[in-house]
Amino acid sequence: FVGIILMAIGVLVETHRQKIQSMNNQLALPVALLILVGLIIAVNALCGMVGTLTENITLLKVFLVITVISFLIQVAIGVIAFIYREEVPGIVSSQLMFAIEGYGESEGLTRAMDYLQNRYSCCGLTGYRDYSERNKDYLCSSSSPQACGVPSSCCKNGVIGILLVYFFIRRVGEYQMGYRVGQYFSG
C-alpha cells in the first residue's frame, strides 16, 4: 500500500514539475527516485505476500533481501539529508533569485514564477522589491513599461486594475509605489 502511495505522489509531483520545469530540473531525479522506490516497495510487498501464502522460500528470501537493502539505503539517505540540511534553503533561494532575474526573458521562467506566485500568493522570494532590485525590466531606472512595477501574478485578486492605472500614471514616486504595492501584495 505504501509503495502505491509513493508512486502516486511521485506521479503527482512530476505533473506539477512539468509546470515549473524550466525553472530548474533539480526535481527530475528525486521524482524518478520516488516513483522507483514506490515500485520497488510494491513489488517487494507482493513478493512477501505471495511467498507467505504459497510458502515459497525463494520469494521470501527475495522479500528479506530487498527489505534489508531498502533499510540500509534509507539509513544512508537519512544521514546524507542530515549532513546537507543547512544547504537546501540556499539552493532553493538561489534558484528562485535566478528565476526572478530571468522573469520576462524566458517564457518558461515566467510561467514557472507566475505559477508559484499564484499558487502560494506571494511576490518574489523576500517580497515585491525583489523584482525592482533584481530584474532589469522592473528596475525603477529602466525605460520599460514594467519599471518600478511587479508582475501581474504578484497581484491579489481584484487588484490588477488598480495597478494597471498606476502603470499608466507611472513614476509618481518610489515612496508612493512602495505604499501602493505594500497594500496589495504579500511577499
For 74-101, write each residue's pLDDT tens digit.
899 889 989 988 887 887 788 888 888 8
Lowest mean pLDDT among 2-16, 28-42, 135-149, 169-183: 169-183
Q: Are 151 and 164 in contact (CB under 8 A)?
A: no
Please state the domain count of the chain. Answer: 2
Residue finishing a domain among 52, 85, 118: 85
Of the pLDDT bands very low, low, confident and very high (cuts 50, 70, 90), residue 135 is confident
Q: What is the pLDDT of the chain when averaged over all its residues? A: 75
- Cα separation, 173 vs 168, in Å, equals 13
Cα 25 to the center of its chain, rounded Å = 10
Confidence label for 180 from pLDDT (cuts 50, 70 and 90):
very low
Write down the pLDDT at residue 62.
93
Residue the block writes with cell 497594500: 183
* Domain that residue 25 falls in: 2-85
| Mean predicted confidence (pLDDT) in 136-142 | 83
pTM listed for this prediction: 0.50
The pLDDT tens digits of the residues spanning 156-172 come to 654 444 444 444 444 44
Same domain, 63 and 96: no
Can you tell me the distance from the alpha carbon of 24 to that of 28, in angstroms, rounded to the nearest whole number?
A: 9
If asked whether residues 93 and 151 sit together in one domain, one would say: yes
Shared domain for 26 and 79, answered yes or no, is yes
Query: What is the rounded CA–CA span in Å between residue 149 and residue 131?
Result: 8
What angle, rounded to 10 degrees, do the helices at 107-120 and 88-101 form? 120
Instruction: Specify the pLDDT at position 59.
Output: 93
